[in-house]
């Protein structure tokens, strides 16, 4: 089967006996005329070939001729499929509704199910025009493409251009060409002025084509700079080193002071007091070193914070930490 057969197979053929063809069968009690039925079959085959070639507009014309000769649920459904592929969404929906009603009245349940499913799928895609009056006007009536339309109610239309007109007694008529796309709802507001006098006047300027306004562009989302982890980590290690150094220095100072009291004049009677004094002095030295390292790291972290490219991008200042191969040192570079 070709394109249209495939589109129909899941909806109709799979639900029908193997002997049923895609084209509709003669209805019971109807004695078809040979010439019309032969022409109908030929038109149907031409429509299938055109659909296979993607020439949907021409296929629509053939299937409409098929339906004009003899209307049947299967032929209406096939026509609706072609109209939908051709982009005539509102037209296809109306054809599906006819196919559904015809199938239900004739008891063709498989076509009824297929038409109902197709109608449900195409409905959200159909654009709609809503004609409104900026100022209430008594007796005003509206038409869309020459067809009466209730003011304020959505009118299903095919995507493309449409002629919207509003008239009222003793008022100037208003006509506008609008353009609408698939799935859009377009509100066309009208204001009817007083009727023109019989005196010739300058012809009115044609109203511009109204199109559905595109959705407003959203401003680009503001990018948040990533959290500066390196300065925070360096500062954290520096604070830890400083606290540890301070604690170690206080402990060493306490031990040294105790040993000094037991060693008047720098002479210790016990070797343990001398060792305690030496250990305390060593702890004081190590504590001082840690305090110095911690303070330097905190200061370096502050420098990194202010020179970090994520906070100084406007000034063109950049900083980076680059470890050496042996991993023992790091270098700080910046562009000023």
CA end-to-end distance (rounded Å), the chain: 72
Structure confidence by residue, pLDDT tens digits, 115-131: 999 999 999 999 999 99
Three-state secondary structure readout of the chain = CCHHHHHHHCCCHHHCCCCCCCCCCCCCCCCCCHHHHHHHHHHHHHHHHHHHCCCHHHHHHHHHHHHHHCCCHHHHHHHHHHHHHCCCHHHHHHHHHHHHHHHHHHCCHHHHHHHHHHHHHHHHHCCEEEEEECCCCCCCEEEECCEEECCCCEEECCCEEEEEEEECCCECCEEEEEEECCCCEEEEEECCCECCCCCCCCCCCCCCCEECCCCCCCCCCCCCCCCCHHHHHHHHHHHHHHHHHHHHHHHHHHHHHHHHHHCHHHCCCCHHHHHHHHHHHHHHHHHHHHHHHHHHHHHHHHHHHHHCCCCCCCCCCEEEEEECCCCCCEEEEEEC
**pLDDT at residue number 280:** 79
What pLDDT was estimated at residue 16?
A: 35
Rounded CA separation 171/12 (Å):
53
Q: What is the pLDDT of residues 249-293, one digit of tens each?
A: 888 888 878 878 778 766 777 778 778 878 878 888 998 888 888
Please report the pLDDT score of residue 100 as a whole number. 96
CA within 13 Å, CB half, 291? 12
The low-confidence residues of the chain, meaning pLDDT below 50, are 1-7, 9-32, 309-336
> What global pTM score does this model have?
0.51
Give the contacts of 128 (CB within 8 A, at least 6 positions apart): 154, 155, 156, 157, 184, 185, 186
Dihedral Cα 241, 243, 246, 248, nearest 10 deg:
-70
- pLDDT, position 2: 42
Give the CATH fold of the 127-196+206-211 domain.
Answer: Immunoglobulin-like (2.60.40)
Residue spans per domain, the chain: 3-124, 127-196+206-211, 229-335
Quick one: pLDDT at residue 204?
Answer: 56
Q: Which CATH architecture has domain 3-124?
A: Alpha Horseshoe (1.25)
């Amino acid at each position: 089967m070709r394109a249209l057969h495939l589109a129909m197979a899941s909806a109709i053929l799979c639900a029908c006996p193997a002997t049923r063809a895609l084209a509709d069968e003669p209805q019971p009690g109807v004695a078809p005329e040979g010439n019309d039925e032969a022409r109908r079959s030929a038109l149907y085959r031409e429509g299938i070939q055109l659909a296979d070639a993607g020439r949907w507009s021409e296929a629509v014309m053939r299937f409409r001729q098929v339906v004009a000769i003899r209307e049947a649920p299967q032929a209406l459904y096939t026509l609706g499929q072609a109209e939908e592929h051709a982009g005539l969404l509102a037209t296809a929906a109306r054809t599906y509704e006819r196919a559904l009603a015809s199938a239900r009245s004739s008891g063709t349940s498989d076509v009824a199910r297929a038409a109902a499913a197709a109608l449900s799928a195409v409905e959200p895609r159909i654009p709609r025009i809503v004609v409104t009056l900026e100022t209430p006007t008594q007796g005003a009536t509206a038409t869309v493409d020459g067809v009466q339309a209730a003011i304020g109610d959505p009118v299903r239309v095919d995507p493309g251009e449409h002629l919207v007109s509003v008239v009222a007694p003793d008022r100037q008529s208003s006509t506008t060409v609008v353009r609408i796309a698939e799935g859009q709802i377009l509100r066309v507001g009208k204001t009817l002025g007083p009727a023109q006098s019989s005196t010739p006047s300058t012809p009115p300027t044609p109203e511009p084509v109204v199109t559905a306004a595109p959705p407003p562009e959203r401003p680009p989302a503001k990018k948040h700079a990533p959290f500066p982890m390196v300065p925070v980590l360096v500062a954290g290690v520096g604070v830890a080193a400083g606290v540890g150094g301070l604690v170690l220095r206080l402990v060493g100072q306490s031990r040294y002071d105790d040993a000094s009291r037991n060693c008047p004049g720098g002479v210790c009677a016990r070797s343990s007091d001398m060792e305690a004094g030496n250990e305390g002095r060593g702890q004081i030295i190590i504590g001082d070193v840690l305090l110095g390292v911690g303070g330097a790291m905190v200061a370096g972290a502050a420098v990194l914070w202010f020179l970090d490219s994520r906070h100084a991008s406007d000034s063109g200042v950049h900083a980076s930490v680059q470890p050496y191969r042996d991993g023992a040192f790091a270098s700080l570079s910046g562009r000023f």
